[in-house]
Amino acid sequence: MRWVQFFSRFVFRYLLLVTLASVSAKAQQNAAPPFGTPLLRLTLQEALDRARHNNVAYLAAATEAEIAHQDKKQAVAALLPSVSYDNAAIYTEGIGAGNNSVRFIANNAVHEYISQGNVHQALDVAAFGEARRAAALAAAARARAEIAARGLVVTVVQDYFAAAAARAKVEAAQRAAGEGERFLRLTQQLEHGGEVAHSDVIKAELQANDRSRQLQEAKLTLLNARLDLSVLIFRDFTDNFDLAEDLHASVALPTLAEFQTQTATRNPEVRAALEAARAAGESVLAARAAYLPALSFDYFYGIDATHFATKTDGISNLGSSVVATLNIPIWNWGTTQSKIKQAGLQRDQAKRELSLAQRKLIAEIRSLYAEAQSAFDELTSLQRSSELSAESLRLTTLRYKNGESTVLEVVDAQNTATQSDAVYQDGAVRYRVALANLQTLTGTLTTP
């Protein structure tokens, strides 16, 4: 028994070590790409395509749309004839020995075998209403899936250009840190020459330390932005990519009239509300159809005999029958009327929601267009401010070197240059996101 326990422990420890080694290797593989692996140049369209296959919220909306489509197929199939094949063997207590008569008149013989094909067709107005309702719900689900797709576009655009802006801010922070170090060396040199006081060196060193910390914070912001984008678009985590789109590329803003024309026919929110209202109307018709008779037909062909055979004593057991059923509703304690009233309430609410969606669309067009217009108009000014602040910093530093300005003026110029560049990057992201938000109303932006 001891050697069995020793062998079991040895196997358990070996398997545990192998498992831990495998998990560690996989984690290292996912954390960092192999040495020499080329960077993936990721365009915005590629990011959108990858997000479509990875984003859980979008996939859930697409799944809901496909489920609604299958509901529509099932509702339409219920209107068509169905074919089935039934088999049964029935044993009934007889009257006595030698007598094939049955005690229960519901059955035909002591032993009865049924093997028949059945063609069934039901003509029910309510079923037609349910099919039309399912079609409207499927269209509404498709519209909601499109809403999710366009919302995903906005998220990807925001994360993509936020990462691009963070990268630009890191570059600006590196330039500011380098400028701070150069200014510190300049003040030290001037102090050694007796041209400035030691307080200028202290101020320059404090400024250089601030610039160094700002650079570290900018790198951390860039890392977080890239991680957010990676989680959004990649199925397996990776950081081995670079952004190919230029944040400051010229993107024209169409006119308000063009957006209004496109939105009138391509807005998914209004289309979803419209289809929901149509589905609610079909529900009313289906509920009212419960007052009408329902007609069904059944055609049977096969055997219904005392032996499981096509012939018994030379006589064919095969035969057919037709059953027509007309179900006339008489009284159900007001259930049908209650369902009609219930469906009417839902229809009225759907109409109100459609009206609200139309009003919101008009307001959103004007609001989002104003946001995009403001961001677009401010870009030129922000770019000019960034260029001017950089030039001001250069000139102020030269004036300080020549003894014509103070250290406080240089520090103020450095702060202004850093802030102006950061605001310029944020302004570019703001315009891209505003444009994406506006285009989600019309579908003019490429969607997954």
Residue 288 is predicted with a pLDDT of 85
State how far the Cα of 304 lies from the Cα of 388, in Å rounded to an integer.
Answer: 98
What is the mean pLDDT of the segment spanning 310-321? 84
Contacting residues for 122 by C-beta, under 8 A, at least 6 apart:
78, 294, 295, 296, 297
Encoded tokens for 203: 């101020």
What is the mean pLDDT of the segment spanning 258-284? 76
Q: In the chain, what are the domains?
A: 41-80+124-292+329-439 (1.20.1600.10)
Query: What is the residue type of 382?
Result: L
pLDDT digits (tens, 9 = 90+) for 103-149: 666 677 777 788 888 888 877 777 777 788 888 888 888 887 777 77
State what percent of residues in the chain have pLDDT above 70: 85
pLDDT digits (tens, 9 = 90+) for 332-379: 888 888 988 988 898 888 888 888 887 887 787 788 888 888 888 888
Contacting residues for 95 by C-beta, under 8 A, at least 6 apart:
101, 102, 103
Strands (E), 251-399: 294-305, 311-312, 315-316, 318-327
Q: Is the dihedral of CA 125, 131, 134, 135 positive or negative?
A: negative
Contacting residues for 172 by C-beta, under 8 A, at least 6 apart:
218, 418, 421, 422, 425
State how far the Cα of 343 lies from the Cα of 386, in Å rounded to an integer.
Answer: 61
Encoded tokens for 135: 């079609």
Strands (E), 48-110: 82-91, 94-96, 99-102
Encoded tokens for 164: 């691009």
CA 45-49-52 angle, to 5 degrees, is: 140
Q: CA 243: distance to chain centroid?
A: 22
pLDDT digits (tens, 9 = 90+) for 11-35: 445 554 444 445 344 444 444 444 4
Q: Helix, strand or coil for residue 113? A: strand
* DSSP 8-state class, residue 405: S
State how far the Cα of 30 lies from the Cα of 71, in Å rounded to an integer.
Answer: 41
Q: With a threshold of 0.85, does the pTM exceed it?
A: no
| Mean pLDDT for all residues in the chain | 79
* DSSP 8-state class, residue 291: G
pLDDT band at 101 (very low <50, low <70, confident <90, very high): low
State how far the Cα of 447 lies from the Cα of 310, in Å rounded to an integer.
Answer: 63
Encoded tokens for 123: 């003509």
CA 298-304-306 angle, to 5 degrees, is: 165
